[in-house]
A and B are shown apart, each in its own frame.
Chain A
């Protein structure tokens, strides 16, 4: 199935259609066909190698983009889901459990979106409630008890801004994770798969290795939210996306993440297996690196990494 095209992919699609026409009308004209094929490939590479921040945001939110459970299925084995925060409920926007990746046993905590209306009702569009963050913390404690590394898959537009979420203190559930993850006595690897929506992402994102997929974004506010406040209209989201410096490359330049995981040309949804192979490889590489560190070094480096974040003058 070819994924739904995005608006900026239209010229590419039109050329693809021309090529198809040409092949069906004059299959013998191999010269013209190969010229056009070449042109198409150039156009494809040119388009996808020079994506604007807003175009990347669109790819990060693509309805066909592989979600956390798609990566779980392709990268991990022996997954046992562990439900619930042992306090109030089980947040389906944040499935989690124990599993194996390569030779490593681990705890895996994910943010999961739905692919259709029914799934999105279940997954709340990937926007966790406080119970999600509290379940995550429960499993991090479990990881600590059994000396298992923690892997988190981040893909959320943000923590849920709802009445119940506020009544049960969503802010506190995030804040406690920020504090507790800083001292957690096992390696933590986070991978931003798609949307790294503000505190909702950071709430499972304090890690020794923060990785980002090539077209993922990580931002303090959604481009639409920023546009609504600073430009007084959501339609300025593309400008806001550029101003916020939210792409994987921007975050690398600002020294806020540790690595970019490459995606297939056009985005992970063009080849989910290929994307998953890259994610699996990046996680195993990080695990191999982190397991060599002594616990005091691991914790000191984790603290130092976040301690350095910030740019100011004095």
Chain B
């Protein structure tokens, strides 16, 4: 709650010591200043307190697949403005802004890859792009890689991060939940493994569809995972939320997820799980 506002210092305010942008990053958890090369080296995890910084889809793919094995699909698929959304912000402008800002076309990358020699279908959401909200493109790309994996009789791995629905696409966004879950139904019916990895944050319609349908559900430490936003829940409950509410640790305790896996161990655990669930 922000009741007190810091008084603005008009005169004599000392300039903060400038840190060359992009070279050093301050850890939001332990305040350690970390050089970006050290951070990259450590998979964007704080070397001091293990805080997991966010990863772009591209970076994340490189941390888990066999080097050079990822073959991207549907990389040009882009969003249109199906509702011609009339609001304070136009959807088309938002899309263009995010495309420029992130260099991404949409909020998920999908494709085929090898992990420890196992061929898999892979979908990785990128939170930088419009909070990786679930629009037609995200739903379609994920559905296609699931269907492709069913046809190829290979496991599917989805790494989720999302703020939830893409409001600008209205009910079309909602239906992506049914579409992706339906594709997973067929993949599951074919007795193929689905490993779902939840990262910070995974909320709303993504949580209420494909993200929690994994045969195995893993999460990165301290990721926030839930259906409704904590602000809404607090307003309705008229009480403070339990300690650690909607964190990966809370959900492990409450039986939703199978294991919390630090980023550095993710690839090895995936390989072990694949070796146990896939007949070679």
Contact = CB atoms under 8 A, between A and B. Distances in A.
Contacts of A205: 178
Q: Is the interface of B mostly helix, strand, loop or mixed?
A: helix
B149 to A, nearest CB: 15
A178 B251 CA distance: 21
A206 B227 contact: no
Interface string A132-171: 0000000000000000000000000001011101111111
A220 B165 contact: yes
Contacts of A229: 167
A246 to B, nearest CB: 6
Contact of A311 (B82, B87, B89, B183): B82
B148 interface: no
B88 A231 contact: yes
Given A162-B236, A244-B170, A183 B185 contact: yes
A174 interface: yes
Contacts of A58: none
Contacts of B213: 175-176, 179
Given A166-B233, A310-B179, A311-B80, A221 B167 contact: yes
Interface in A217-235: 218-221, 226, 229-232
Interface string B173-201: 11111110111111011000000000000
A250 B174 CA distance: 14
B136 A312 contact: yes
B252 interface: no
A80 interface: no
A219 B171 contact: yes
Interface string B66-96: 0000000010111110110111110000000
B185 A199 contact: no
B178 A182 contact: yes
Nearest to A159: B227
Contact of B82 (A178, A219, A242, A254): A254
B193 to A, nearest CB: 15
A226 B169 CA distance: 12
Given A242-B86, A256-B172, A312-B136, A166 B182 contact: no
Interface in A239-283: 239-240, 242-246, 250-251, 254, 256
A309 B178 contact: yes
B174 A220 contact: yes
Contact of B174 (A165, A175, A199, A314): A199
Interface residues of B, number: 66
A174 B169 CA distance: 21
A303 B178 CA distance: 9
Given A161-B227, A166-B246, A178 B77 contact: no
B254 interface: yes
Most buried by B among A163, A178, A250, A312: A312
Contacts of A246: 170-171
A169 B77 contact: no
Contacts of B154: none
Nearest to A207: B178
Contacts of B85: 243
B233 A251 contact: no
Interface string A291-314: 000000000000100110111111
A229 B231 CA distance: 13
A229 B88 CA distance: 10
B237 interface: yes
B172 A311 contact: yes
B256 interface: yes
A198 interface: yes
Given A220-B173, A244-B170, A311-B82, A169 B256 contact: yes
B87 A243 contact: yes
Interface of B: 74, 76-80, 82-83, 85-89, 136-137, 139-140, 143, 165-167, 169-179, 181-186, 188-189, 204-205, 207-213, 226-229, 232-233, 236-237, 239, 241-242, 245-246, 251, 254-256
Given A199-B204, A218-B174, A220-B165, 15 more contacts: A159-B208, A166-B226, A166-B227, A172-B212, A202-B175, A205-B178, A218-B171, A220-B171, A231-B88, A245-B83, A245-B170, A307-B182, A311-B82, A313-B77, A313-B80
29 contacts: A161-B227, A161-B233, A165-B227, A166-B228, A167-B254, A168-B254, A169-B251, A169-B254, A170-B208, A171-B212, A174-B227, A175-B211, A178-B178, A178-B209, A182-B178, A182-B181, A198-B174, A199-B177, A205-B178, A218-B171, A230-B88, A230-B89, A230-B167, A231-B87, A243-B86, A250-B171, A307-B182, A310-B140, A311-B172
